[in-house]
Chains A and B, each alone.
Chain A
Amino acid sequence: MEAVLKINNLTKWFDKKKIIDNLSLEVYSGEVFGFLGPNGAGKTTTIKMIMGFLSVDSGEILLNGINSRKNFEKAMANIGGIVENPEMYKELSGLTNLKMYARLQNNVSIERINEVVKLVGMENRVNEKVKKYSLGMKQRIGLAQAILHKPKILILDEPTNGLDPAGIKELRDILKDLAHNENVAVLVSSHLLSEMELMCDRVGIINNGKLLGVKTIGEMQSLANGGITVYRFIVRPIEKALDLAGISYSERIKSHTNNHIDIAVEVEDVIKINALFASNGIGILGVAKIETSLEDAFMNITGGGNSIG
């Protein structure tokens, strides 16, 4: 597969703080790539550097093989996208906004504009002023604008913001269709793992400006199912239970209070631990699977020297 978006050793400083730290990344034609990370991890900063909002302190960005610093216009012609919220000229209609954008691209026909308007389902409202649009409708026009000129790379920053569940599904289908049927490289950023699972082929995880790793959704899921889940055991007396659990699972105990112990174990171990507690006269008030926070998931995926693909 061909890497249409290639980032090599990208670094960015804000004041004296390193925001992006030696980040390298490849996105291929025909895939939806998820850019996953908590708020403030550097997702939007990276995207803004790709899009030309921010200067690059070191490293290079190749768009369809063209260095965007050396030939900005030619490189940028391969890109379409939305950064943060889609912002348009509010006094103008959605259609006029699209026409204005089309004017800055090469060879976008009026038929193509109508086609994308239909694709995002805005044909009934496209002549209204943007200030009358809801956030979801702006997202749709934003998407239409992003794909107007048939870019080889489509970059969407938190694209599901403001969309209703039906809209999110629609967007997912459009993105998958673009990637899998029209061979577009799609980069989507999000801080929601669940969203990534349904949409992406591969996920790159970023935190504190560093790319922690890139995994396919398959790998992610097997890792998650294979042992990263944390279970909360609400038990009495807690001290005795801690001692017992400490014998076999000392490294797996994530935290404890005088009410419960959180242990990261596989499903089979939950049964074993339950049995262990029960046989030692410890009262089990409840066992619950804790929704793994994203940060924990990252830590689990990347921590402890586990191999990352």
Chain B
Amino acid sequence: MVKIIALYINELLKISKKISVYVILVIMLMGMFVTGGLLKYAQTRSESNNINPNLAQFMKNDMESRLTNLQTQLSQNNDQIATATTLQKKQLELNTVNLGYQIDSINTAISMNVYLYTNYYIAQAIQALSDYKIEYNNLQALPIETLTQVQKDEKALIESLIPRMEKVITSKDFGEYTSIINDKEKGNVDISQTDKDIQLEQNNLRLKYNVTNLDKNNTQRNRDSATTSDDVITNIGTARRSLAYNLDFSTQQNIAAPLTNQRRVQIKDNITVDLKQLDLGTIGTNNFSLMKNILSVGTYMIEILLLILAGGAISQEISTGSIKSLIISPTKRWKIYVAKLMSLITVGVIAAGICYVLGIIVYGVFFGLSNVSPYIYTSSSNAILMNFYLFTFVKLFIGLIPVAFYMVLALMLSTLTRNTAASVGISIGVLFGGTIAYTVLTSLLTGEWLKFLPFANFDFASQIFPLDPSAAANSVVNTSITFSTTYIIIVIGLMFYIGLDSFNRRDIK
């Protein structure tokens, strides 16, 4: 052991004098800063795009054109009344009143300067009031003796809701508004109790977290791109419906597939996390994907650094002849090999540490360190928080497990080929080419055997952190963490043994 430590110290000393190490670290530093800057630039641009200065004007124009349209309809309607039969007249008169309600609501909105999307619930209240009045008017028009009990109840309910809604429009009381639409929902006989409950939960969540604005963009609303509380609440509703009907509604496909057990657990976890996020008020911080992008530059540089070092570890010493002083010393060869691997691992850990610190600095410089969402995971349906910086640290190191695979491969090749260029070239080729080849392969072929490819077993991070918002899409090949771990240990162990055995036995001429 003393020998191995001595060899290990010597190896670190040798690596510390390699200029390539420092060149790569400088590239890492620059690359991460440039990435951070670009991300900041992209974010600033998309934010300025979101705030459409003409939106209010556009909405106003829209409202006014609707108003004109309605007024045209009204005058046409009135013209028809003059020539209509008695039976038709009754219906047309009803229309006149209903159109009047709609015109009133738009006039109110314009006069209050309230447009849909920007002052969500007031606009909704104005719209709802008009709807209620029309519905009541329609029911009122029917002979009382023909009404069913349901229609009677509905009529009574609306009658009580109309004055309340009128008040809300002036008082702007969000709580009262929610209470009204909840009461309306409770009286809705067209949907199931389950859907009712889901709708009520969403209404209450909007009240609880004071979600008074709709998504500005009103764009697609899947979980990965949820940027507003409104999106998240909508997602919760979709997830609840998925669970209730055992169908996956969140995939945005035409046909909702039945839920697998795994997907069920995922959806449940997502709800728990979404609720926690609403609680924390950290929606839209985007810190996971920003940090991921910044660190990925560093991770690439760590990979290249380790492959260059490992690919030359044995071959370079043999080609320069410096291996002689190692062989002449009273040291068994396997100790030399082990010490080399240990020093490479150490360099990897140090480089990852530098990468981590740089990542935090870059993130802090461009985005600030305080406004970050913690990683939220679940344990028996409870949301548990993990500090974002701790999460980033752990994830970074888990992400280096595949790097260990490539590193041991390069070390093995360095021993077998005794050619630095070949070992570095092949291992970098496998690193980049292999991943691409694997992606192509999995798109063309299916089958259980795919999981025996190393590339299918590299995504430890998304297995350990399944609720990472920045996680890549699920792998097409299903592997368990136990399988992946065992597989990787065996493969790395095998490559290590082949290299070690070759180094032990082969002559150094």
Contact = CB atoms under 8 A, between A and B. Distances in A.
A4 B148 CA distance: 117
A104 B17 contact: no
B369 interface: no
Nearest to A52: B327
A83 B332 CA distance: 18
Interface string B1-14: 00100110110011
B509 A54 contact: yes
B325 A145 contact: yes
Interface stretch (B205-213, B239-247, B316-324, B485-493): B316-324
Contacts of A96: 13
A97 interface: yes
Interface residues of B, number: 26
Nearest to B504: A55
Interface in A89-137: 89-92, 96-97, 100-101, 103-105
A92 B328 contact: no
A76 B330 contact: yes
Secondary structure at chain B's binding surface: helix, strand, loop or mixed?
A: helix
A5 B473 CA distance: 66
A183 interface: no
Contacts of A81: 328
Given A51-B328, A52-B328, A96-B13, A104 B507 contact: no
Contacts of A97: 325
Given A55-B505, A91-B18, A100 B327 contact: no
A94 to B, nearest CB: 12
B331 interface: yes
B6 A73 contact: no
A96 B14 CA distance: 10
A79 B330 CA distance: 8
Interface in B1-50: 3, 6-7, 9-10, 13-14, 17-18
A80 interface: yes
B509 A53 contact: yes
Given A89-B17, A103-B9, A51 B327 contact: yes
Contact of A55 (B324, B327, B507): B507
Given A89-B14, A100-B10, A104-B3, A83 B328 contact: yes
A158 B337 CA distance: 29
A168 interface: no
A103 B321 contact: no
Nearest to A76: B330
B445 interface: no
A244 interface: no
A54 B508 contact: yes
B321 A87 contact: yes
A100 B336 CA distance: 13
B329 interface: yes
Contact of A90 (B13, B320, B330, B505): B320
A233 B215 CA distance: 113
B13 A100 contact: yes
A240 interface: no
B324 A87 contact: yes
Given A53-B507, A55-B507, A76-B330, 6 more contacts: A54-B509, A87-B320, A100-B13, A100-B325, A104-B326, A105-B329
Interface of B: 3, 6-7, 9-10, 13-14, 17-18, 320-332, 505, 507-509
Interface of A: 48, 51-55, 72-77, 79-81, 83-92, 96-97, 100-101, 103-105, 145
- Which are the 10 A-B pairs with shortest beta-carbon distances? A87-B321, A76-B330, A104-B329, A91-B17, A103-B6, A77-B330, A54-B507, A100-B10, A73-B330, A53-B508
